[in-house]
Amino acid sequence: MVNHRKSFFDGMRDGIPIALGYFAVSFTLGIACRNIGLSALHATVMSFTNLTSAGEFAALGIMAAGASYWEMALSQLVINLRYMLMSCSLSQKMAPDTPMYHRLLVGYGVTDEIFGISVNVPGRLDPFYAYGAVCIASPAWALGTFLGVVLVNVLPARIVVALSVALYGMFIAIIVPPARKDRLLAGLILVSMALSWVFARVPLFDGISGGMKIIILTVLISGVAAFLFPVDRGLTSGAEEQKKEEGEEHA
């Protein structure tokens, strides 16, 4: 039987580094909100309801340019379409009998970082694990945005720029531990980094938006990896580990 309480607190524990990174990055977002005239309340509500750094930064540029709602909707669709892929992946990792409302609630909190820790949970994903991570990461994202708006004129410019580096540190903290345990995963990460560099530097791909590049690379790399390595390694090893732990508890 799944221990939802344990899963929730495990999610909170794993979500602490994400929350710290979100707080630092969203501080910069709050400054950008202030620069285009958004109030602290409006900026905080936007961050609390939209957990997407790239999407929100793009939205601020569109607001500043006075673009139409259609342009806003289309840009957000393209930039955040990768979250649909992540949601589909997590949906397959949940137990087949997981109610729809749990799937929808988990979908609200799907970000690159939360997806990263959720997909690495051994065995099936308990929705309460994702709830634990989201309940600490989401408020940190909103709080950072709020403080960025309020304290924009207080912090030195160098500190503000330095805070944005936390996002990259957060990604490294997510991918390095599992990559050290799995050579295949480490190889895929290196391939992803190389192809991302190619897409960013080769002029042929200049006409493709950043969000669409992520989608193309995600589908391409994951599709090839699934074709070449079709064994469901994650769920199999996770199930075996869970059985082993249960056996030790009963011993």
State the maximum Cα–Cα separation within the chain, in Å, rounded to a whole number.
Answer: 66
20 has pLDDT over 90: no
Q: Which residue has the higher pLDDT, 75 or 193?
A: 193
Residue 80: pLDDT band (50, 70, 90) is confident
Give the CA-trace dihedral at 109, 105, 70, 141, to 10 degrees.
-30
**What 8-state DSSP symbol labels residue 24?**
H
Measured distance CA(197)–CA(63) in Å, rounded: 30
Domain boundaries of the chain, sorted by first residue? 4-179, 182-251
Measured distance CA(4)–CA(27) in Å, rounded: 32
pLDDT 10s digits, 114-149: 998 998 888 899 999 999 999 999 999 999 999 988
CB 12 within 8 A of CB 132: yes
User: Helices in the chain by DSSP H: which ranges?
Assistant: 4-35, 40-49, 53-65, 69-80, 82-93, 100-108, 112-119, 127-150, 157-163, 166-181, 183-201, 210-228, 233-250
Measured distance CA(54)–CA(26) in Å, rounded: 11
Amino acid at 88: C
239 has pLDDT over 60: no
**Of the given ranges (110-124, 190-204, 232-246), which has the lowest mean pLDDT?**
232-246
CB 15 within 8 A of CB 133: yes
**Of the given ranges (2-6, 135-139, 174-178), which has the lowest mean pLDDT?**
174-178
32 has pLDDT over 80: yes
pTM of the model: 0.66
- Collapsing DSSP to helix, strand or coil, 134 comes out as helix
Listed residue (106, 126, 102, 124) closest to 115, CA to CA: 106
